[in-house]
């Protein structure tokens, strides 16, 4: 963590939650945030689209940010089932995740599409959280830096800056598996991403841009991961489905 970048602790609920438990969890976290007061870290909840309105209502005035898990790259049009970034902004979202490895795998999303989605998010006034990360086979082949840097170069849109872009480094093999890279490995990849960002954008953006770690972040490993110099928060999947666990992770950041 650095003094200059406020840690962001983001919960990706994925396709989990119904109205009752989703709103309840959000209210629980909102109460804790209000009791804590500002400073230390920012918290973001990214529920499924069906829960955005209810979660948005539950966290109103708590300081917790609302985000979505995906958006379309067009503002409107004949795209059945899709939701645009402008529509998410209408609902009170401030952030949207794009290029999560599950979307890259399940929906065949490539860097060009992720780039277009991130550009649309930024144009709609949202902060785009662009996900990158290598598979286990790529790591075993020694290709981590090449793959992750390539994804960042392909997925970060023109016009991105420290205020409208967050990168999430999520090794695919660490997501939902209980396995994580070592702290030294995480720090090395994050530093490499920051150096890559300097090439894609400029030194100021690279220095200010938050790079989150994601992949089996739990209360037990959060303090170590979040203490790393180039780790500026976490993108948390499974553990964000428990208010106690997610709060323990967030407070490990500050
Ligand atoms: C994720 O999918 O964004 C994620 C990090 O999941 P988990 O924390 O469950 O590994």
* pLDDT tens track for 91-130: 999 999 999 999 999 999 999 999 999 999 999 999 999 9
**Measured from the CB, is residue 180 less than 6 Å from ligand 1?**
no
Active site annotation includes 100: yes
Pick from 2-16, 129-143, 157-171, 218-232: least confident:
2-16
Ligand 1 center–CA 213 separation, angstroms: 10
Q: At 4, is the pLDDT very low, low, confident or very high (cuts 50, 70, 90)?
A: confident
What is the CATH topology of the domain spanning 42-49+65-251?
TIM Barrel (3.20.20)
How far apart CA 174 and CA 133 sit, in angstroms, is 10
Decide: 99 in ligand 1 pocket, CB within 6 A.
no
Ligand 1 contact via 176 beta carbon (within 6 Å): yes
> Confidence band (pLDDT; 50, 70, 90) for 254?
confident
In this prediction, residue 1 carries a pLDDT of 67
For the residues 2-10, what does the mean pLDDT come to? 89
Cβ-based neighbours of 107, under 8 Å, separated by 6 or more: none
pLDDT, mean over the chain: 97
Q: Does ligand 1 come within 6 angstroms of the Cβ of 215?
A: yes
Instruction: Among 98, 174, 212, 217, say which to mutate for ligand 1: greatest number of ligand atoms within 8 Å of CB.
Output: 217
Write down the domain spans for the chain.
42-49+65-251
Confidence of residue 3 (pLDDT cuts 50, 70, 90): low
The rounded distance, in Å, linking the Cα atoms of 178 and 207 is 30
Catalytic residue status for 170: yes
pTM, full prediction: 0.98
Q: Is 217 a pocket residue for ligand 1 (Cβ < 6 Å)?
A: yes
Mean pLDDT (whole number) for 130-155 = 98
**How many other CB atoms are there within 10 angstroms of residue 87's CB atom?**
18
Q: What pLDDT shows up at residue 190?
A: 98
Cα 177 to Cα 97, 181, 217, distances in angstroms: 20, 12, 10
**C-alpha 238 – ligand 1 centre gap (Å):** 6
Is the pLDDT confidence value at 38 over 90? no
Q: Write the pLDDT tens digit of every residue in 198-209.
A: 999 999 999 999
For residue 61, give Cα distances in angstroms to 89, 129, 152, 174, 185.
Answer: 17, 23, 34, 34, 38
Residue whose Cα lies nearest atom 7 of ligand 1: it is: 237
Atom 6 of ligand 1, residue of closest alpha carbon: 237
Quickly state the pLDDT bin for 39 (edges 50, 70, 90).
Answer: confident
**C-alpha span between 157 and 137 (Å, rounded):** 27
């Amino acid at each position: 963590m650095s003094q200059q970048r406020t840690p962001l602790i983001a919960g990706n609920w994925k396709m989990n939650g119904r109205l009752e438990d989703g709103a309840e969890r959000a209210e629980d976290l909102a109460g804790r945030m209000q009791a804590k007061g500002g400073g230390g870290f920012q918290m973001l909840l990214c529920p499924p689209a069906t829960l955005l309105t209810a979660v948005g209502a539950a966290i109103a005035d708590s300081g917790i940010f609302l985000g979505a898990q995906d958006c379309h790259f067009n503002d409107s049009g004949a795209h059945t089932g899709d939701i645009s970034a402008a529509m998410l902004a209408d609902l009170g979202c401030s952030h949207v995740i794009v290029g999560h490895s599950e979307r890259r795998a399940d929906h065949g999303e490539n860097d060009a599409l992720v780039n277009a989605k991130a550009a649309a998010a930024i144009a709609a006034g949202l902060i785009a959280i662009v996900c990158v990360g290598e598979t286990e086979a790529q790591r075993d082949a020694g290709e981590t830096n090449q793959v992750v840097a390539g994804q960042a170069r392909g997925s970060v849109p023109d016009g991105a800056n420290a205020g409208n872009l967050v990168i999430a480094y999520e090794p695919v093999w660490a997501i939902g598996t209980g396995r994580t890279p070592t702290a030294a490995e995480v720090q090395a990849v994050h530093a490499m991403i920051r150096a890559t960002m300097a090439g894609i954008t400029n030194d100021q953006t690279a220095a200010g841009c938050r790079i989150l770690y994601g992949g089996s972040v739990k209360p037990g490993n959060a303090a170590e991961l979040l203490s790393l110099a180039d780790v500026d928060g976490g993108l948390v999947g499974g553990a964000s489905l428990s208010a106690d666990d997610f709060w323990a992770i967030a407070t490990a950041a500050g």
